[in-house]
């Protein structure tokens, strides 16, 4: 094909071809959901509305199989089953558009083609669709300016990312008992989707200058991935944390878990310009419908089922969460169950040595039914009286990044201490047994593995571990970070050293960060 593009496009560019192409992009390509598609169709040209009532193949009725639309007439056809090919051959309509990705296919050239005018229309309509959905520019193609092209010509050397590349690894100076902050910053800067968000400059700030924590995090990501090796001094980040989370101000040692939750909360509040909008283009104030990057990555849904012991009626509530706090053996709270035996069996990739406790054990305990007792009776909607009940927590919606907080610090009226119980945790974790949809597979807190293959959508990989060494009164935080697959580094403030997988898995573990292995794109 010549640089000018496909010559067969010229036969299409007659009369109102631009308007017709825009209608197709608006109604059938860039509409995000079936609901918006139907709404846009009803607002479009009457001919399209009458003939194209739904996006299905006009020959077999299927809506999958790479559906394409003819550019010359109202016809939808399967690309996989070649129904759109038959239409093109019979009608001599040589151009069709892919309704999923918006590419133009020429049946004469037998390939997807590029046309500058069509590409411009596709980009304009895509941006309009994103704006209606309130998601900003999203992933727009980078087009270099003349100045940038000149710089690229004079600097042909490219930075190549290899398996031994250390870009993204950078120490952080301890500014006075700030190791709790440094280890969380290391975990956040190595969270893949958070890194992609900040390095693509997608934050739209609506706050006063120098007061936005999201802007500072954006600058921090630039520093981490700049290639500089000298330790970074995060003084601006510390100042903003003190400003927006007053309870963390001062030079005393703070809890890394408390800092994580405070940081996510401030980032969530400062992502005002990045949230979704309603159908009228106005921002939604409902926190349950926030679509900021923090909620997209870290927010899950925790389902609580309270069952009346008399009528067995169930009251269900679903609450958002950023992390899961897990009790440990050795705390004042009775711990049950331990591993299902000291026989060396393996669950979730964790070896059950005699007397050892695993992350799966902690999750099993977290999701077991709990009898609330006579001192905590609730008013049953079925019985219309106060009755004893049981309560069970399960995962209704899993976040992209699952953070598990092992409750090692115990504070009570009589006791203040650190729990040093060793908890083994796996490199790969399957959360299927703890989903609300798997509840019927559990009896009295004991998970019975289904015969069916476990769901890949619920599988996670470990990418960061925060550890605490020392006592409750005097201690130090460090972190392990996964740079590449099976390549780990220990971050101890300004010092970065290579670590083995054994070093990671043998560590005590305070905060465990897992990332979903498979992502669902909306």
Reported as a single tens digit per residue, the pLDDT across 214-234 is 888 988 998 998 888 899 999
Is residue 241 in a domain? yes
Is residue 308 in a domain? no
- Which is more confidently placed, 138 or 397? 397
Residue 99, phi then psi, degrees to nearest 5: -75, -10
Residues 97 and 185 in one domain: no
Boundary residue ending a domain (240, 272, 304) = 272
State yes or no: cis peptide before 361, omega within 30 of 0: no
Q: How far apart are CA 317 and CA 302, in angstroms?
A: 8
Boundary residue ending a domain (257, 272, 287) = 272
pTM: 0.67
Residues 125 and 218 in one domain: no
- Which is more confidently placed, 265 or 250? 265
Number of independent structural domains in the chain: 2
Whether residue 502 has pLDDT greater than 50: yes
- Strand, helix or coil for residue 113: strand
Is residue 452 in a domain? no
Is residue 25 in a domain? yes
Is residue 448 in a domain? no
Is residue 207 in a domain? yes
Is residue 437 in a domain? no
> What pLDDT does 203 receive?
78
Mean pLDDT of 397-416: 86
Q: Which residues contact 49 (CB under 8 A, 6 or more apart)?
A: 41, 42
Name the E strands within 2-80.
Answer: 67-70, 76-78
Confidence of residue 414 (pLDDT cuts 50, 70, 90): confident
- Which is more confidently placed, 281 or 519? 519
Residue 228: which domain range?
178-272
Whether residue 286 has pLDDT greater than 70: no
Catalytic residue among 78, 179, 183, 403: 179
Q: What is the CATH number of the domain that holds 124?
A: 3.30.40.10
- Strand, helix or coil for residue 82: coil
Residues 202 and 90 in one domain: no
Boundary residue ending a domain (80, 100, 133) = 133
Active site residue 179: yes
Q: How far apart are CA 474 and CA 466, in angstroms?
A: 17
Closest CA to 183 of 396, 466, 378, 483: 466
Most confidently predicted of 253-262, 273-282, 367-376, 405-414:
253-262
Residues 124 and 13 in one domain: yes
Closest CA to 294 of 324, 325, 260: 260
Is residue 286 in a domain? no
- Which is more confidently placed, 19 or 40? 19
Mean pLDDT value across the chain: 80
Strands 459-470, 475-484: pairing is antiparallel
Residues 115 and 17 in one domain: yes
> What pLDDT does 181 receive?
93
Name the E strands within 267-376.
Answer: 300-308, 314-321, 324-326, 346-347, 350-351, 357-358, 370-371
Residue 265: other Cβ atoms inside 10 A: 15
Residues 11 and 126 in one domain: yes
């Amino acid at each position: 094909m010549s640089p000018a593009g496909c010559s067969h496009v010229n036969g299409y560019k007659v009369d109102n071809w631009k308007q017709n192409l825009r209608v197709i992009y608006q109604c059938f390509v860039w509409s995000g959901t079936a609901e918006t598609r139907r709404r846009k169709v009803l607002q479009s040209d009457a001919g399209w509305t009458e003939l194209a009532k739904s996006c299905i193949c006009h020959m077999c009725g299927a809506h999958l199989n790479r559906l394409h639309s003819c550019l010359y007439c109202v016809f939808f056809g399967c690309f996989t089953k070649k129904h759109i090919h038959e239409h093109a051959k019979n009608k001599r309509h040589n151009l069709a558009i892919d309704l999923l990705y918006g590419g133009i296919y020429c049946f004469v050239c037998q390939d997807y083609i590029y046309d500058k005018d069509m590409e411009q229309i596709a980009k304009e309509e895509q941006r309009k669709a994103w704006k209606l959905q309130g998601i900003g520019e999203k992933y727009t193609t980078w087009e270099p300016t003349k100045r940038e092209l000149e710089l690229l010509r004079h600097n042909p050397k490219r930075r190549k990312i290899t398996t031994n590349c250390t870009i993204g690894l950078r120490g952080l100076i301890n500014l006075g008992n700030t190791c709790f902050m440094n280890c969380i910053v290391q975990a956040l800067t190595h969270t893949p989707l958070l890194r992609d968000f900040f390095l693509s400059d997608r934050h739209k700030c609506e706050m006063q200058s120098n007061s936005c924590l999201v802007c500072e995090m954006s600058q921090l990501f630039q520093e981490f991935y700049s290639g500089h090796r000298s330790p970074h001094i995060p003084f601006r980040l510390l100042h903003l944390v003190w400003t927006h989370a007053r309870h963390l101000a001062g030079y005393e040692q703070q809890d890394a878990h408390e800092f994580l939750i405070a940081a996510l909360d401030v980032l969530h509040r400062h992502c005002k310009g990045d949230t979704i909008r309603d159908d009228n283009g106005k921002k939604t104030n409902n926190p349950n419908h926030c679509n900021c990057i923090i909620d997209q990555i870290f927010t899950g849904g925790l389902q609580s089922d309270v069952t009346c012991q008399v009528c067995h009626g169930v009251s269900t509530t679903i609450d958002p969460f950023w992390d899961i706090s897990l009790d440990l053996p050795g705390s004042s709270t009775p711990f049950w169950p331990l591993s299902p035996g000291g026989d060396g069996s393996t669950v979730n990739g964790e070896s059950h040595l005699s007397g050892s406790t695993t992350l799966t054990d902690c999750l099993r305990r977290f999701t077991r039914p709990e009898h609330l007792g006579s001192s905590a009776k609730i008013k049953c909607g079925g019985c219309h009286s106060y009755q004893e009940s049981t309560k069970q927590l399960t995962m209704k919606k899993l976040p992209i990044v699952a953070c598990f907080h092992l409750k090692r610090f115990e504070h009570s009226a009589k006791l203040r201490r650190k729990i040093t119980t060793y908890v083994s945790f796996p490199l790969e974790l399957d959360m299927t047994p703890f989903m609300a949809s798997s509840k019927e597979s559990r009896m009295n807190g004991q998970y019975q593995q289904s015969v069916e293959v476990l769901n890949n959508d619920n599988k996670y990989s470990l990418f960061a571990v925060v550890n605490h060494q020392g006592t409750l009164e005097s201690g130090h935080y460090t972190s392990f970070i996964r740079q590449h697959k099976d390549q780990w580094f220990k971050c101890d403030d300004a010092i970065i050293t290579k670590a083995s997988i054994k070093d990671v898995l043998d560590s005590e573990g305070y905060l465990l960060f897992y990332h979903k292995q498979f992502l669902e794109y909306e």
